[in-house]
Structure 1
Amino acid sequence: MNIGQAAKFSGVSAKMIRYYEQIGLIPKALRSDAGYRHYSQPDVHSLCFIRRARDLGFSVEQSGVLLALWHDRDRASADVKMMALSHVARLKAKIDELQAMAQTLEHLADHCRGNDRPNCPILADLAESIAAAEQPPLTSRRTPRFGVDTRASSRSSSR
């Protein structure tokens, strides 16, 4: 099948298929006499495998490792499990980070009056990082934070 058909069946765009070939994630496709790429059923299965790995958040490099493990019938499933659990740990850490960001923004939004006045704790908080960057480093300098321990709460109580 041609690249368009392979893209349709695998759910991987033609552009990404060409990229995966270029970086060696998948072998270069056979070419017709006219120079068109030709993909076999196993090629499409590999593309489906890569798409699923990418959908689960694995990097291109990790997808390549998983693909190699999938093709290696002598592999130990422990290797695959270790890789998956390591990825789960990274995903959970990212989830925690995103939740902290959301909490910070919700907290700041809760303290913003949202009226026609220019005072805005959201912008004030964002501007604090600019002011901190302009000052020489001190041991008491605030570190980036997530969560509700922002200075907006102290500003809102002084209004």
Structure 2
Amino acid sequence: MNRMRIGEVAKATRVPVKTLRYYEEIGVLAPPARTAEGYRNYSPEALDQVGFVKASQAVGLSLREIREVLAYRRAGVVPCQHVLLLLEQHAREYRDRIAELSDALATLEELIMRADRLRADDCSPNSVCHLIPAPTSDS
């Protein structure tokens, strides 16, 4: 496959030109060779790199983390162990976030059930809305 200009890479990867330039600027995408006219001249490997970036983002890796992984690879180090650690870390964070969201959902469901038992007339002039009780101060 021949070398490609940025528009061709954008079309092939469905990543906007502006995003490709940003990836290059922050070191996620290796700077391509330039034509005599100064146009970016990407190798076919750029498609694989952009595909890796998109797949990595889809599983929750940040651009900073992706840049680290790509830096390992560019240095000749197989980054799979590092990637595994990142994936495990994200899985833990997702489990924690799911637990927090489950708690929040339970609270919302309790408030909704509470709303079924209360009337608008029950709202005290001292509260904003009786559906969401203000925490009591015990201090």
TM-score (norm 2): 0.71
CA contact (8 A) 2:10 2:20 kept: yes
Give the CA deviation at 1:16: 1.7
User: Size of the alignment, in residue pairs?
Assistant: 130
Amino acid at match of 2:43: S
Q: How does 1:70-89 map to 2 (within 5 A)?
A: 70-71=73-74, 73-75=76-78, 77-89=80-92
CA contact (8 A) 1:111 1:121 kept: no
Amino acid at match of 1:40: S
CA contact (8 A) 2:12 2:47 kept: yes
Tell me the residue number matched to 2:71: 68
- For structure 2, list consecutive stretches of 5 or more residues without a partner in the other structure: 124-128
1:12 aligns with 2:15: yes
Q: State which of 69, 91, 103 in structure 2 corresponds to 1:100.
A: 103
Give the CA deviation at 1:7: 2.1
CA contact (8 A) 1:32 1:38 kept: yes
Give the CA deviation at 1:5: 2.3
Q: How does 1:15-30 map to 2 (within 5 A)?
A: 15-30=18-33
Identical pairs, percent: 26
CA contact (8 A) 1:66 1:80 kept: yes
CA contact (8 A) 2:35 2:41 kept: yes
Q: Which runs of 4+ in 1 moved over 6 A?
A: none
Matches of 1:55 and 1:12 in 2, distance apart?
A: 14
Give the CA deviation at 1:19: 1.2
Amino acid at match of 1:84: L
Give the CA deviation at 1:51: 0.8
Tell me the residue number matched to 1:45: 48
* 97 and 4 in structure 1: CA distance in 2 versus 1, 3 angstrom threshold: farther
Amino acid at match of 2:45: P
1:111 aligns with 2:111: no
Give the CA deviation at 1:71: 4.2
Matches of 2:88 and 2:32 in 1, distance apart?
A: 33
Matches of 1:116 and 1:6 in 2, distance apart?
A: 60
| SS of 1:93 mapped into structure 2 | helix
CA displacement 1:18-39 (0-9 Å, x = unmatched): 1111112222233334443332
Matches of 1:30 and 1:116 in 2, distance apart?
A: 70
CA displacement 1:95-122 (0-9 Å, x = unmatched): 2222222222222223224999374444
Aligned residues: CA RMSD? 3.1
CA contact (8 A) 1:7 1:17 kept: yes
Give the CA deviation at 1:61: 0.7
